[in-house]
Chains A and B, each alone.
Chain A
Amino acid sequence: MSSEPRPTQSRSHPWMALSAPGVIDEMLAEIGAPSVEALFEQIPADHYRKTPLDLPPALTSEMELKRDLVTRLKKNESCEDNLSFLGAGVWQHHVPAIVDEIVGRTEFATNVWGSYQSDHGRNQTWFEFSSQLGALLNLDVVQLPVYSWGCASGHAIRMAAKITRRKKVLVPQLSDPERLSVIRTYCQPQEMESAIEVVLVSADPTSGRLDLNDLKAKLGSDVAAVYFENPAYLGTIETGAAEVAKLARAAGAETIVGVDPISLGVMTAPGDYGADIVTGPVQPLGVHMHCGGGAGGFIASRDEEAYVRSYNGFLVSIAQTLEEGQHAFGLACPHQNSYGMREDGNDWTGNSTYLWAIAGSVYMSLLGPDGFAEVGRLIVSQARYAAKLLGEVPGVRIVWPDTQFKEFVVNFDDTGKTVAEINDSLRANGIFGGKDISGEGLGVGQSALYCVTEVHTAADIQRLADTMKEVLS
Chain B
Amino acid sequence: MSRLPNFHAAKWDEPVVMEMGRPGGRGQVFPAPESEVTNSVGNDLIPSAMARKDRPELPEITEFEAQRHYLHLSQMTLGMMGVSLFGTCTMKYNSKTSEYATCAPSLPRFTPTSIPTRCRACSASFTTSIASFDPCRAWTSSSSRPEAALMPLTR
Contacts and interface: CB of A to CB of B under 8 A. Distances in A.
Interface of A: 14-17, 53-56, 58-59, 62, 65-66, 68-70, 72-82, 84, 86-92, 94-96, 98, 101-102, 104-115, 118-122, 124-125, 127-128, 131-132, 135-136, 138, 147-148, 230, 237-242, 264-269, 272, 288-295, 318, 327, 339, 350-352, 355, 358, 361-378, 380-382, 384-385, 388, 403, 405, 427, 432, 435, 454, 457-458
Interface string B105-131: 111111111100111111011000000
A55 B27 contact: no
Contact of B18 (A128, A241, A435): A128
Nearest to A289: B111
Given A114-B77, A268-B51, A367-B58, A75 B90 contact: no
A367 B21 CA distance: 12
Contacts of B53: 268
A372 B58 contact: yes
A111 B96 CA distance: 12
B56 interface: yes
A102 B84 contact: no
B16 A131 contact: yes
B50 A267 contact: yes
A105 B130 CA distance: 33
Contacts of B107: 73, 76, 78, 290-291, 293
Interface of B: 9, 14, 16-18, 20-21, 25-34, 36-38, 40-41, 43, 45-47, 49-61, 63, 66-67, 69-86, 89-90, 92-95, 97, 99-103, 105-114, 117-122, 124-125, 132-133, 135-136, 139-140, 142-148, 150-151, 153-155
B68 to A, nearest CB: 10
A238 B75 CA distance: 43
Given A378-B32, A385-B40, A76 B143 contact: no
Given A58-B135, A368-B21, A121 B143 contact: no
B85 A114 contact: yes
Nearest to A18: B82
B114 A432 contact: yes
Contacts of A364: 58
A107 B78 contact: yes
Contacts of A15: 93, 95
